[in-house]
Amino acid sequence: MRIERIAKKLACVALAGAGVMVGASEASAVVYHYVDWQTADVAAGTASGVITLPDTSMVTVDFEAINPDASPGNLFFAQTNGGGTNYWNPDAPYLSAQVDNAPPDSDIVALIGGVDQTYRVTLSEPIKDPIMAIVSLGSGSIPTTYDFDSPFTIVSQGAGFWGGGPAALQPLPGDILLGAEGHGTIQFIGTFDTFAWDVPTPENWHGFTFGIRTTLAIEPDPPTGGPTTGGSAVPEPVSAVLGVMGLGALGVGTRRRVV
Ligand SMILES: [Ca+2]
Ligand SMILES: [Ca+2]
């Protein structure tokens, strides 16, 4: 009996060890939690959903298309109830050494653009480094841009539902993402509770959703050396970003002058 228990324990330890080894040998991709879109009003240009974290806490996500005169814009379409086509299939463009999972179902918000609207996402709390998964930005014959108000990096891309390839998304200066049948995931760098973009030229069509890894409630920012004061630990994304960009621009300028 006792020996059996010991043997079981040893087996558990061995399994746990194997698990750790598998985890360590794989890339450090982590699970992201995507928006479960719940409502959308295509004619009013709005959609809202929730992201549920592993501790069952929720972050609400609101999307709105806004005309220059602040009146409601519009969507092309949205899928919020798990029905319709799953445009995240194949999921390869959305998987990377950083992101372990593609959007889980057919939920998506889609635009055409080219009508001078601003597209704004608002999160119910500041979120560090949120991701945006994109289907079919532009087409092979109609390259299309998302002109963001926040800096981003391309995390992954590849051939997706409508085709495209491994270089169909390109970053341009000015926080602009260029797509020519682009499928992939980008990540906004910083801590945001809102960000926005516009689509200067129309293309029929491109869709997206958003994901987060964690929240500051679950995983607070570590102290940065100086005294920390609760709420002020969340940096202001715009000013911080402008500071970084300013320094970067200065660096580039200096190098150019030297050359
Ligand atoms: Ca849904
Ligand atoms: Ca497209």
The pLDDT tens digits of the residues spanning 149-197 come to: 999 999 999 999 999 999 999 999 999 999 999 999 999 999 999 999 9
Cα of 244 from ligand 2 centre, angstroms? 32
Q: What is the pTM of this model?
A: 0.77
Task: Quick: pLDDT tens for 236-254.
Answer: 455 444 444 444 444 433 3
User: At residue 11, does pLDDT exceed 80?
Assistant: no
Ligand 1 centre and the CA of 208: distance in Å?
A: 13
| The total number of structural domains that make up the chain | 1
More confident residue, 254 or 69: 69
- The pLDDT tens digits for 83-137 are 999 999 999 999 999 999 999 999 999 999 999 999 999 999 999 999 999 999 9
Q: Tell me which long-range contacts 63-70 makes (C-beta under 8 A, separation of at least 24).
A: 63/109, 63/119, 63/120, 63/121, 63/122, 64/119, 64/120, 64/122, 65/111, 65/117, 65/118, 65/119, 65/120, 66/117, 66/118, 66/119, 66/120, 67/116, 67/117, 68/116, 68/117, 68/118
Q: Does residue 236 lie in a domain region?
A: no
Cα separations in angstroms, 66 against 104, 119, 250, 257: 28, 6, 34, 41
Report the alpha-carbon angle 116-46-171, nearest 5.
Answer: 50
- What range does the domain containing 207 cover? 33-212
Q: Is residue 86 part of a domain?
A: yes
Domain-located, residue 24: no
250 lies in some domain: no
Does residue 254 form part of some domain?
no
Q: Closest ligand to 39 CA? A: 1
Could you tell me the pLDDT band of residue 224, with boundaries at 50, 70 and 90? confident
Q: Which ligand is nearest to the CA of 49?
A: 1
Q: How high does pLDDT run on average in the chain? A: 84
Q: What's the CA-to-centroid distance between 165 and ligand 2, angstroms? A: 13
Q: Do the domain assignments include residue 227?
A: no
11 in a structural domain: no
**Which ligand is located closest to the Cα atom of residue 206?**
2
The answer to the question of residue 154 being in a domain is: yes
